[in-house]
């Protein structure tokens, strides 16, 4: 395994879960809190939108939710030396095959350890196949504490794992959204489905998604019929499980899709509970407990079965009710307040509504307590796109677009934009002299102005320019006369160290007419990690020079990542959300960039391309 793979978020999260499992196997009572702490840290790392190693190198390891001094010090040692003495000590004596078996549905740490030791299954590469053979030979059922039912469940879990193990680990957000919309459309073929929503990380618009979770509003009497309809979904490969009001299937590509059906009166509670994140839910439960309440997917209960008068409980026909969509259900000596929507639930707890995108367990509850959650930017606020590539052949350094400037303008008009910016890749410097490049740029400007002379929306002529390893731009400065703005981007030499890469970028940002730092980390999701930069220096320079950091909406990028967006926001930097469109349909990617901006807590005032045309002109003239 390479250093990059060993230090990836996936590997770190898996390591933390191994340590948590090791504490479970040790069995001491005092380990309970450590087990919870390591699980929380693993969840936080797994869903982090930056590599944890980069966060550590920036000196911000302890700002990650769930990482305190104990876990953090071990991780620091791991990053510095490649191992942690504490981790090694805890994991000593536990075969790696135990941790492989723990990934199988229904097999926890203790059961995995028992099976490995009973049958000598110490090879992690073959342990799943080996245990499946043991089960099919009817050898598990005779173990004390197992039995025939346990053996059957284990075999089923192993078979499911074998299918899912061939799955690409996480899907890009746009792919998962398309799949969820397809399933929701299929579900809504039934008129008994009153509403359907994506849940989990998909509803929070995380950059990459594991499983697809969907919730449906329907009457209780219709839930079985809706589940039966779901189990006939055309893309189904196999059924993982089904009940009266929920089911799980594997769809094409071995993608797991989970369905939950709930009635309207408690739908808000369920929606909040299964949207997560886990860390947000933990903190919300802790907050509620301090107020004397416990939370579940069904609603809120008073811890000691006493509802305070200030909760707004009233008697009606002898039964307690709560206004604004809340109801109290009484039975078996329990009282539960149900919520038809999330707004009512948060309001009941004395909190401002928290948008799903920022429910990540940072400090959103603290802000909600004092009504200071900012109103996030919305897709409808966007007035233009500055990063589009046309089919105009200026002998570019990278791929051309597929559509003409006129076609890009027509698409912008259909999106009701006020303006559009053209930013083809710079002419290929290795093939052309400076004089030839200047001539190409001059002719391009003349062509655009002539072609769009009667355009009824505003346009700006830009260029996306490569940042060379030296920090110089791949464009002679005389060519700057023929553009309104420059986007500068990293397209090569990604392995430079932090200091070298930072100096390289700062030099590029210092050129005249540079107004946008394009896809700043240069990451490609699932293919290439982002570059390491001194972000505090980048943010400070960009703020002083009125340079916008791009949130690139292209599905493989979603760059700047949301965690860095929030850091840059706190540093006072401005942003621009672009699509990097290479054909007109790509301009519809804007919604994904807006999701990243929302996860970074951005308002429309912090996003340049929500401004009207006159303000855009003023911004382009600032130096």
Residue 29 is predicted with a pLDDT of: 59
pLDDT tens string 533-571: 999 999 999 999 999 999 999 999 999 999 999 999 999
- Mean pLDDT on 230-258: 89
* Mean pLDDT computed over 572-578: 98
Strands 208-209 and 293-296: unpaired
pLDDT over threshold 70, residue 51: yes
**Beta strand segments in 252-355, E:** 255-262, 293-296, 299-302, 314-316, 319-321, 326-331, 334-339
Q: In the predicted model, is pLDDT for residue 130 greater than 70?
A: yes
Does residue 82 have a pLDDT over 70?
Answer: yes
**CB-CB neighbours of 204 under 10 Å:** 24
Whether the per-residue pLDDT at 333 is higher than 60: the answer is no
If you search the block for the tokens 């469109």, which residue do you land on? 581
Mean pLDDT of 452-456: 93
The answer to whether residue 57 scores a pLDDT higher than 90 is: no
Q: Which residue has the higher pLDDT, 578 or 316?
A: 578
Rounded average pLDDT over 379-401: 96
**Using CB atoms within 10 A of its CB, is residue 393 exposed (0-12), middle (13-18) or buried (19+)?**
exposed
pLDDT of residue 590: 98
Pick from 8-12, 44-48, 370-374, 425-429: least confident? 44-48
Q: Name the average pLDDT for the chain.
A: 90
Residue 308 has pLDDT above 60, yes or no: no
Residue 160, C-beta contacts closer than 8 angstroms, at least 6 positions apart: 104, 105, 238, 240, 250
Please tell me which residue, 251 or 268, carries the higher pLDDT value. Answer: 268
Average pLDDT, integer, range 56-71: 88
- What whole-number distance in Å separates Cα of residue 367 and Cα of residue 198? 25
End-to-end CA distance of the chain: 47
* % the chain with pLDDT above 90: 69
User: Which tens digits make up the pLDDT trace of 144-165?
Assistant: 889 898 888 899 888 877 766 5
**Least-confidence region, from 234-238, 378-382, 481-485, 551-555:** 234-238
What is the bridge-based pairing of β-strands 575-578 and 548-552?
parallel
User: Which one, of 581, 181, 575, lies nearest residue 382 by Cα?
Assistant: 575
**Rounded mean pLDDT, 112-126:** 90
Range 187-198 average pLDDT: 96
* pLDDT in the model for residue 165: 53
pLDDT for 587 equals 98
Using one digit for the tens of pLDDT, what is the confidence trace for 510-528?
999 999 999 999 999 888 8
3-state secondary structure 540-592: HHHHHCCCEEEEECCCCCCECCHHHHHHHHHCCCCEEEECCECCHHHHHHHHH
Please state the rounded mean pLDDT for residues 17-34: 81
Is the confidence at residue 504, as pLDDT, over 90? yes
Mean pLDDT within 57-68: 86
Pairwise pLDDT comparison (82 vs 598), residue with the higher score: 598
What domains sit in the chain, N to C, each tagged with a CATH number? 3-164 (1.10.150.110), 171-262 (3.30.460.10), 275-369 (3.30.210.10), 379-621 (3.20.20.140)
Burial 90-126 (b: 16+ CB within 10 A, else e): bbeebbebbbbbbebbebebebbbbbbeebebeeeee
Whole-model pTM?
0.78
């Amino acid at each position: 395994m390479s250093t990059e793979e060993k230090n990836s978020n996936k590997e770190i999260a898996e390591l933390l879960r191994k340590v948590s499992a090791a504490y479970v196997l040790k069995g001491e009572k005092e380990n309970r809190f450590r087990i919870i702490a390591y699980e929380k840290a693993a969840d936080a790392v797994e869903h982090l939108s930056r590599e944890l190693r980069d966060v550590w190198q920036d000196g911000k390891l302890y700002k990650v939710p769930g990482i305190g001094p104990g876990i953090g010090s071990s991780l620091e040692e791991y990053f510095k030396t490649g191992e942690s003495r504490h981790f090694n000590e805890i994991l000593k004596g536990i075969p790696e095959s135990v941790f492989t078996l723990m990934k199988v549905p229904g097999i926890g740490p203790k059961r995995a350890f028992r099976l490995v030791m009973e049958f000598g299954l110490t090879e992690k590469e073959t342990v799943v196949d080996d245990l499946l053979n043991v089960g099919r030979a009817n050898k598990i059922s005779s173990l004390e504490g197992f039995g025939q039912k346990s053996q059957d469940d284990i075999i089923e879990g192993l078979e499911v794992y074998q299918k899912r193990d061939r799955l690409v680990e996480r899907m890009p957000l746009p792919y998962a959204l398309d799949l969820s919309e397809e399933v929701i459309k299929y579900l809504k073929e039934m008129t008994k489905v009153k509403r359907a929503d994506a849940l989990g990380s998909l509803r929070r618009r995380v950059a990459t998604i594991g499983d697809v979770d969907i919730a449906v509003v329907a009457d209780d009497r219709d839930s079985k019929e809706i589940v039966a309809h779901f189990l006939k979904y055309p893309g189904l490969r196999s059924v993982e499980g089904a009940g009266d009001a929920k089911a799980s299937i594997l769809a094409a590509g071995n993608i797991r899709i989970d369905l939950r059906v709930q009635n309207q009166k408690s739908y808000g509670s369920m929606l909040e509970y299964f949207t997560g994140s886990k860390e947000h839910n933990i903190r919300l439960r802790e907050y509620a407990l301090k107020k004397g309440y416990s939370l579940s997917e069904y609603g809120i209960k008073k811890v000691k079965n006493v509802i305070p008068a200030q909760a707004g409980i009233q008697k009606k026909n002898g039964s307690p009710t709560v206004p604004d969509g809340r109801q109290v259900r009484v039975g078996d000596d329990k009282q539960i307040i149900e919520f038809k929507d999330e707004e009512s639930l948060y309001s009941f707890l004395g909190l401002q509504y928290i948008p799903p995108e920022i429910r990540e367990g940072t400090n959103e509850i603290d802000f909600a307590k004092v009504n200071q959650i900012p109103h996030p930017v919305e897709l409808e606020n966007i007035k233009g796109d500055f990063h589009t590539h046309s089919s105009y052949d200026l002998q570019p350094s990278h791929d051309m677009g597929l559509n003409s400037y006129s076609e890009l303008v027509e698409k912008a008009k259909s999106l009701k934009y006020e303006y559009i910016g053209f930013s083809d890749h710079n002419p290929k410097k290795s093939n052309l002299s400076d004089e030839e490049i200047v001539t190409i740029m001059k002719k391009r400007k003349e062509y655009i102005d002539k072609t769009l002379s009667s355009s009824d929306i505003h346009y700006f002529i830009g260029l996306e320019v490569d940042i060379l390893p030296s920090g110089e731009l791949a464009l002679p400065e005389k060519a700057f006369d023929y553009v309104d703005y420059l986007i500068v981007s990293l397209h090569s030499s990604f392995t430079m160290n932090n200091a070298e890469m930072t100096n390289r970028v700062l030099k590029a940002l210092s050129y005249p007419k540079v107004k946008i730092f394009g896809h700043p980390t240069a990451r490609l999701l699932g293919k290439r990690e982002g570059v390491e930069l001194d972000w505090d220096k980048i943010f400070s320079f960009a703020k002083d020079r009125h340079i916008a950091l791009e949130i690139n909406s292209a599905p493989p990028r979603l760059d700047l990542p949301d965690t860095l967006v929030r850091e840059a926001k706190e540093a006072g930097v401005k942003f621009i959300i672009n699509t990097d469109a290479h054909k007109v349909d790509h301009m519809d990617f804007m919604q994904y960039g807006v999701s990243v901006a929302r996860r970074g807590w951005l308002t429309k005032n912090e996003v340049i391309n929500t401004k009207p045309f006159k303000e855009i002109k003023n911004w382009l003239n600032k130096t």
